[in-house]
C-alpha cells in the first residue's frame, strides 16, 4: 500500500513538472511573439498629402462708398440721392436686379473751414450677386459712374467668394490621403517594407486663395478664379 502511494505521488509530481515546463515554453513563445508584434506596431512613417482644386467663385460682393460735400445740407443730400439713383441705374442697365443692392450705411460730417460750415455726406451701397459674369462686367465698366459724377472712394472693390467648400471637402480629403499613401509607399519601397493601415491622421485647414497668386492685395482687383488647397498629415503602419 505504501509503495502504491509513493508511486502515485511520484507520477503526479512528474505530471506537474511537465505541465509547468510546457506552460513556461508556451509563455515564453507568446512573450517573444508579443514583443515582435510590439516592435512591428511601433514601425510607422508619417507623411503629408496634398490636394488642390481650381474653382470659380459663386458670390460677388461689392461695397460702393461715395460722398458729396457742400455748404448746404439739403443740397448735399440731393446730390447723394442723385448719385444713388445713378448707381442703381448703372447696375440695372447691366441686368442686375435692384434688390441685389442694399444700403450699407451712411454718415454726415460737419466741419468749419475758414469760417464756412461744410457738410459731407458719406453713403454705402452693397451689391451681392451670384451672377459672376455680370459682376465682372460691372467692375470693368465702373468708370462710367465716374463720368456720370459719382466718385467712388478708396476701398470700393469687388470681392469674390467660393461658398460651396463643404461640397468638395470629402473628395479633397480622400485625394490628399491617397497622395499621402503614395508618399508612404515610396518610403516603404526604399526601406524594403510594406505600407499597412492608418495609425492616425490629422486634417489641415482648407485655404481658398486667388489662383496663380493674382488679386487680393491692396489696390489689386480680386479675381473670381480661386485655388482650394488642403494638406493632411497621415501616420501609416509599416509591415
- Domain at 59-161: CATH code: 3.30.70
> The whole model's pTM is what?
0.72
Domain boundaries, the chain: 1-42, 44-56+164-238, 59-161
Q: What is the pLDDT of residue 112?
A: 80
Judge contact between 82 and 177, C-beta under 8 A. Answer: no
Judge contact between 203 and 232, C-beta under 8 A. Answer: yes
CB-side neighbour CA atoms (13 Å) of 109: 9
CB atoms closer than 10 angstroms to residue 165: 14
pLDDT tens track for 95-129: 999 999 999 988 898 888 777 889 999 999 999 99
d(CA 137, CA 155): 19
- Domain at 44-56+164-238: CATH code: 3.30.110.170
Q: What is the pLDDT of residue 221?
A: 65
Domain pair 44-56+164-238 / 59-161, same fold: no
d(CA 173, CA 50): 9
Q: What is the pLDDT of residue 156?
A: 66
pLDDT tens track for 132-164: 999 999 999 999 998 999 988 876 688 999 999
Amino acid at each position: 500500500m505504501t509503495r502504491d502511494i509513493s508511486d502515485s505521488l511520484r507520477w503526479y509530481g512528474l505530471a506537474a513538472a511537465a505541465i509547468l515546463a510546457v506552460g513556461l515554453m508556451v509563455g515564453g513563445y507568446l512573450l517573444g511573439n508579443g514583443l515582435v508584434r510590439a516592435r512591428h506596431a511601433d514601425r510607422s512613417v508619417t507623411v503629408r498629402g496634398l490636394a488642390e482644386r481650381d474653382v470659380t467663385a459663386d458670390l460677388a460682393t461689392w461695397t460702393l462708398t461715395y460722398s458729396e460735400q457742400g455748404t448746404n445740407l439739403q443740397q448735399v443730400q440731393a446730390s447723394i440721392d442723385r448719385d444713388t439713383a445713378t448707381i442703381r441705374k448703372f447696375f440695372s442697365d447691366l441686368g442686375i436686379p435692384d434688390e441685389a443692392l442694399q444700403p450699407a450705411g451712411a454718415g454726415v460730417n460737419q466741419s468749419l473751414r475758414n469760417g464756412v460750415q461744410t457738410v459731407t455726406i458719406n453713403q454705402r451701397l452693397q451689391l451681392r450677386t451670384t451672377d459672376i459674369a455680370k459682376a465682372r462686367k460691372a467692375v470693368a465698366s465702373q468708370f462710367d459712374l465716374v463720368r456720370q459724377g459719382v466718385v467712388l472712394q478708396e476701398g470700393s472693390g469687388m470681392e469674390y467668394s467660393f461658398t460651396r467648400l463643404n461640397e468638395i471637402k470629402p473628395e479633397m480629403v480622400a485625394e490628399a490621403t491617397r497622395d499621402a499613401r503614395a508618399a508612404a509607399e515610396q518610403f516603404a519601397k526604399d526601406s524594403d517594407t510594406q505600407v499597412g493601415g492608418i495609425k492616425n491622421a490629422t486634417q489641415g485647414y482648407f485655404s481658398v486663395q486667388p489662383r496663380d497668386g493674382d488679386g487680393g492685395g491692396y489696390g489689386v482687383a480680386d479675381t473670381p478664379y480661386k485655388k482650394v488647397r488642403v494638406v493632411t498629415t497621415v501616420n501609416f503602419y509599416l509591415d
